[in-house]
Amino acid sequence: MNRLFRQNPRIEAAPLDDEAILFDPTASKFFMLNRTSSFVWQRLSTPSSAKTLADELCKHFDSVVPSDVLNDVEHALEQMLSMDLVVAGDAAVNPQPRDAAQPSPAERRE
């Protein structure tokens, strides 16, 4: 996965100890991120690849198994992408506001 990811600019975030609470005002949904996902979320304030994020996680957390980290980060990013919390590709570099009338990827599956 060589795509770049970044935070969706419409998502609001609040820290909670080592975790974070995200709010999507368009969908009126809250999301709770654990310590690791919160770390990834914070790093996504600037466009980053899964590999860059995995490398940063390995440096920051002592207890991670490097061989598992990239898969875990890719999985977390795909989940965040499916919930419209992050944007990928060209949108990660130049994010455009999503039309409120257009359903998010998560809404299209329901």
Q: Is the pLDDT of residue 100 over 60?
A: no
Provide the strand spans (E) within the chain. Answer: 4-7, 12-16, 19-24, 29-33, 48-49, 86-88
**Mean pLDDT, residues 80-87 taken together:** 96
Distance of CA 74 to the CA centre of its chain: 10
Distance of CA 99 to the CA centre of its chain: 20
Look at residues 59, 58, 16 and name the one whose alpha carbon lies nearest to residue 35: 16
Look at residues 87, 100, 52 and name the one whose alpha carbon lies nearest to residue 73: 52
Reported as a single tens digit per residue, the pLDDT across 3-50 is: 999 999 999 999 999 999 999 999 999 999 999 999 999 999 999 999
pLDDT tier at 55 (50, 70, 90 boundaries)? very high
State residue 67's pLDDT score.
83
